[in-house]
Amino acid sequence: MTAGRVLVTGGAGFIGTNVAARLMSDGRHVTVLDDLSRRGVERNLAWLHTRFPQVQLVEGDVTDPGAVRTALRGVDHVFHFAAQVAVTSSLTEPRHDFSVNLAGTLNLLEEARRRDTPPSLLFTSTNKVYGGLEDVQVRDTAARYEPVNEQFREHGIAENRPLEFCSPYGCSKGGADQYVLDYAKSYGLRTVVFRMSCIYGQHQQGNEDQGWVAHFLRQALQDQPITLYGDGRQVRDVLHVDDLVDAMLCATAEVDRLTGQAFNIGGGPASTTSLLELVDLIGQLNQRQPQVVLDDWRVGDQRWYVSDTRRFQRATGWSPTVPVHEGVERLHGWLRSNDLRVAEAS
């Protein structure tokens, strides 16, 4: 990545704040494009302004070509995080979900393509592009599901897994994923896609629909019950945001070599937790067990998903460094020290 300006769409959100802060700490010039519609992002933006007064804000939406055109001025690289991020919201408002996630991404690609020298772009997709994984046979233990297939247990789900979009959210993010990859093939844009698992860490305010690690911690800190949809044995690989930012910087440094490729990014088999196991860990950190309430399974909820990250590791040398217990403990301390326990979830 060259030394020019970087655009971070959704830059006042959880991941955007962490990426923008890392870039500016490294001396990069950053423009943030954000419509500031999500509750809690004003806290992140205030933190960025306090620590990095030089950050440039374009308040606007990726669905607005004018705002995108303004934000792209002088930009050499784009981190595209602006999105509607919840499966549940996509089920109730599928048109809005489509407008932001798919149409907004196409709008950004088209505005980038208008440039004499188009910027490179990294897009954050989702493991939901692989559907519910109903064909992956699992067995249940006392606290988690695990695949019957040994290859899945050892390595996780790889990028050669057939795409099977599930829920309007999966469709909109999956469609955007494919557009971003195709613009590398059809128009020569330098693009990379991260199909991400569960990311957590500082500046994540989280809610019941998205950002569940932070949401569980906040509920416990407020002595509120944690609702588990399904039986709580669902397993995910979790990745601390510091490791994610490292991966993103690796990808952008090698964007010419990696262009047009999608990578599964998460903690991998070494960094997994079930919902029940996370609740137990939170109980250890709080020195009291949270109250748990069970509810019905939700649409598209995978019983088990773990990212096979070997392809990206081979391409860049990156690998996660923050163990689950350490990362959750860090977030627990950050939430307490920043007095976010009573904040509205974003």
Helix (H, G, I), strand (E, B) or coil at 133: coil
Percent of the chain with pLDDT over 70: 97
Q: Per-residue pLDDT tens for 192-238?
A: 999 999 999 999 977 777 889 999 999 999 999 999 999 999 999 99
State the chain's mean pLDDT as an integer. Answer: 94
Write down the pLDDT at residue 30: 98
Domain residue limits at 221: 5-337
The angle subtended at Cα 22 by Cα 20 and Cα 24, nearest 5°, is: 65
Write down the pLDDT at residue 339: 59
Q: Per-residue pLDDT tens for 127-148?
A: 999 999 999 999 998 899 999 9
Percent of the chain with pLDDT over 90: 88
Residue 311 forms part of a structural domain: yes
- Within the chain, how many helices (H) and strands (E) appear? 14, 15
Q: Could you tell me the pLDDT band of residue 31, with boundaries at 50, 70 and 90?
A: very high
Q: Could you tell me the pLDDT band of residue 346, with boundaries at 50, 70 and 90?
A: very low
Instruction: Please determine, for residue 340, whether its predicted confidence score (pLDDT) is greater than 80.
Output: no
Residue type, 34: D
Instruction: Please determine, for residue 344, whether its predicted confidence score (pLDDT) is greater than 50.
Output: no
Radius of gyration in angstroms for the set of CA atoms belonging to the chain, rounded to a whole number: 19
Which is it for the CA torsion 51, 69, 122, 120, positive or negative? negative
Write down the pLDDT at residue 40: 82
Write down the pLDDT at residue 182: 98
Write down the pLDDT at residue 148: 97
Residue 344 forms part of a structural domain: no
Write down the pLDDT at residue 3: 62
How is residue 251 written in tokens?
Answer: 């990808």
Instruction: Please determine, for residue 343, whether its predicted confidence score (pLDDT) is greater than 50.
Output: no
Q: Which CATH number covers residue 314?
A: 3.40.50.720
- Positions marked catalytic: 169
User: How many domains, the chain?
Assistant: 1
Q: Per-residue pLDDT tens for 292-314?
A: 999 999 877 899 999 999 999 99
Residue 345 forms part of a structural domain: no
Residue 20 forms part of a structural domain: yes
Q: Could you tell me the pLDDT band of residue 345, with boundaries at 50, 70 and 90?
A: very low
- Work out the burial of residue 155: count CB atoms within 10 Å of its CB; fewer than 13 is exposed, 13-18 middle, 19 or more buried: middle
Give the pTM: 0.95
Give dist(CA 313, CA 317) in Å, integer: 5
How is residue 1 written in tokens?
Answer: 């990545």
Instruction: Decide which of 251 and 344 is more confident.
Output: 251
Nearest to 145 by CA among 214, 275, 234: 234
Instruction: Please determine, for residue 341, whether its predicted confidence score (pLDDT) is greater than 60.
Output: no
Residue 127 forms part of a structural domain: yes
Q: Per-residue pLDDT tens for 230-278?
A: 999 999 999 999 999 999 999 999 999 999 999 999 999 999 999 999 9
Alpha-helix runs per DSSP H in the chain: 14-25, 41-51, 65-71, 87-92, 94-98, 104-114, 150-155, 167-187, 212-221, 241-253, 255-258, 275-286, 310-316, 324-337
